Amino acid sequence: MNRDNRIVCRLCKSLPAIGVVAAGILAVNTICGGRVSFIIVDLVVAAVTGIYVSVKREQEKEYYDKLQDAFDYMEQLSFAFIRTGQVSEALGETRALFESGNMRETLDKAITCLDEEFDIAGRRKALTIIEREYPTSLIVKLHDYMVRAENYGGDVRRAVSILKNEQYERKLSMKEFAKQLGIKRKNCIFSCLAGALISGIMIMFVPDKSALTESSIYQISLMIFSVLSCMIILFSYKKTVVDFLADKKMYSDEQMRDKLKRYISGKGFLDRIVLKKVIGDEVRFAFTEWILSVTLLLESHNVEGAIEESIETAPYCMKPYLMEFVDKVRKHPGELSPYAEFLEDFSFSEVKSSMRLLYSLSVGSVDSVGDAITHLIEQNASALKGVEDERREARLAGMSLMFMIPVALTSLKLIADMSVILIHFISKL
């Protein structure tokens, strides 16, 4: 399909949304006595709003389908890998689950690449095709573990079970968050509709309607009200249609490198305080993700080896602290201090308890290694859920403010209308 045809197709799909918004604009302007010249401006904005809403609704459906496909893929791949122990066979079985669509095409590309590569780097390269299309850390961790398990061997059932539990919890969490965002958007749109209804009722109770409709101030305020209402609807869709699979970082690796360098240098007291808060927020989330990787590596490594191996795939904000930790362990083998002092600047309770448990595992002072690892997983899964819930609650709290914007806009519109009426009556005295 060429570019012109795609544009025509997009406009045709947008017609229902354009019609709904335009009908609402016309109804408000007809009731409120808007002038034709101003209505034309409103209708142009309505057309843009309708196209944008239509695009976002399609995008929202695409994101939801990708979310469902990704979790179906991880679930099937986990079962297949437990049974076969081979990456290529597990991918082949998983592909059979998807008859057509983007996931099937992506798996075909990955399997084709896998057939041409035979070493660890080749398998990793093939799996990266899937990770680029479905960019979530859950898939990356599953792939990493599968490649390592195929190479080193061992019992994979417990580790895959750990990943499956995390996948299930994250799936429920993402779907609940999507539901809450949808509710916030509906509240915002209903608030805009309520504002339009109040503006329409207002003019019905004015003794001399011409006092309003003949005023340029009233006509301009009505046009601005209609345009800004459309802008609010646009904003609500922009903020609530999100790709839940994409693990968005607050800062890029380059930005985090600069912040870590400035923080570790210790220059600037106030700057250091601000940086500690920024880096601490990133590290807290990264630690709970990183500790699961370490737990999976404990299936085939000792504690120090698992931590050292994890540095390669660790979040960037963790790397300097992990390298420092490995150096300390090498200099002071068997001592508690490297574990107790890890990330001590940030004083997170989950860090202290997890590192002390890792130390106990490293010196063999734990009766049941399996129970200790299970406790470590459960503790940090709970911590990760808590951090994600905090981030989402903060975002939802910000979304709640959108509900107040139409209220404020309607209030300003009523103030302008009352001012015009007041000026009109004063002029008649």
Q: Considering the domain boundaries, does residue 290 fall inside one?
A: yes
Tens digit of pLDDT for each residue in 409-424?
888 888 888 888 888 7
Cβ of 346: how many Cβ atoms within 10 Å? Answer: 16
Tell whether 90 is covered by a domain.
yes
pLDDT at residue number 9: 65
- Residues 152, 206, single domain; the answer is yes
Q: Looking at residue 312, what is its pLDDT?
A: 80
**Confidence tier at 8 by pLDDT (50, 70, 90):** low
Is 239 inside any structural domain? yes
Find the range with the poorest average confidence among 149-153, 168-172, 282-286, 421-425: 149-153
Contacts of 277 (CB under 8 A, 6+ apart): none
Instruction: List phi, psi (to 5°) of 219.
Output: -65, -40
Co-location of 237 and 282 in the same domain? no
- Give the pLDDT of residue 429: 63
Q: Are residues 268 and 306 in the same domain?
A: yes
Q: What is the mean pLDDT of residues 156-177?
A: 77
Task: Please indicate, yes or no, if residue 410 is contained in any of the structural domains.
Answer: yes
Residue 360 sits in the same domain as residue 321: yes
pLDDT tier for residue 13 given thresholds of 50, 70 and 90: low
* Same domain as 111, residue 196: yes
Most confident of the ranges 3-12, 92-101, 377-386? 92-101
Would you say residue 338 lies in a domain?
yes
The residue from 347, 366, 385 where one domain ends is 366
What band does 7 get if pLDDT is binned at 50, 70 and 90? low
Stretch among 47-61, 118-132, 149-163, 317-331 having the lowest mean pLDDT: 149-163
49 assigned to some structural domain: yes
Whether 275 and 180 map to the same domain: the answer is: no
Pick 261 or 81 by higher pLDDT.
81
pLDDT grade for 381, boundaries at 50, 70 and 90: low
* Percent of residues, the chain, with pLDDT higher than 90: 0
- What pLDDT, in 10s, does the model give residues 28-81? 777 777 777 777 888 888 888 888 888 888 888 888 888 889 989 988 988 888
| Domain coverage including residue 403 | 3-245+395-428
pLDDT at 161 > cutoff 80? no
Same domain, 225 and 353: no
What mean pLDDT is reported for the chain?
79
Q: Is residue 210 part of a domain?
A: yes
- Residue 270: the pLDDT is 67
Nearest C-alpha neighbor of 296 from the set 148, 82, 93, 188: 148
How many domains does the chain fold into? 2
**Same domain as 226, residue 150:** yes
Q: Does pLDDT of 10 surpass 60?
A: no
Domain co-membership, 338 together with 218: no
Query: What's the average model confidence in pLDDT over 128-150?
Result: 82
Instruction: Give 201 or 153, the one with higher predicted confidence.
Output: 201
Q: Is the pLDDT of residue 368 over 70?
A: no
359 pLDDT more than 60: yes
Could you tell me if 238 and 283 lie in one domain?
no
Confidence of residue 152 (pLDDT cuts 50, 70, 90): low
Residue 304 located in a structural domain: yes
Averaged over 365-391, what is the pLDDT? 67
Q: Could you tell me which of 76, 11, 21 has the C-alpha nearest to residue 44? A: 21
- Examine the domain organization and report whether 106 and 188 are in the same domain: yes
Name the domain boundary from 346, 366, 386. Answer: 366
In contact, 361 and 369? CB cutoff 8 Å: yes
Residue 400 has pLDDT above 60, yes or no: yes
The pLDDT confidence band at residue 243, using thresholds 50, 70 and 90, is confident
Q: Do 226 and 147 fall within a single domain?
A: yes
Q: What is the mean pLDDT of residues 214-243?
A: 85
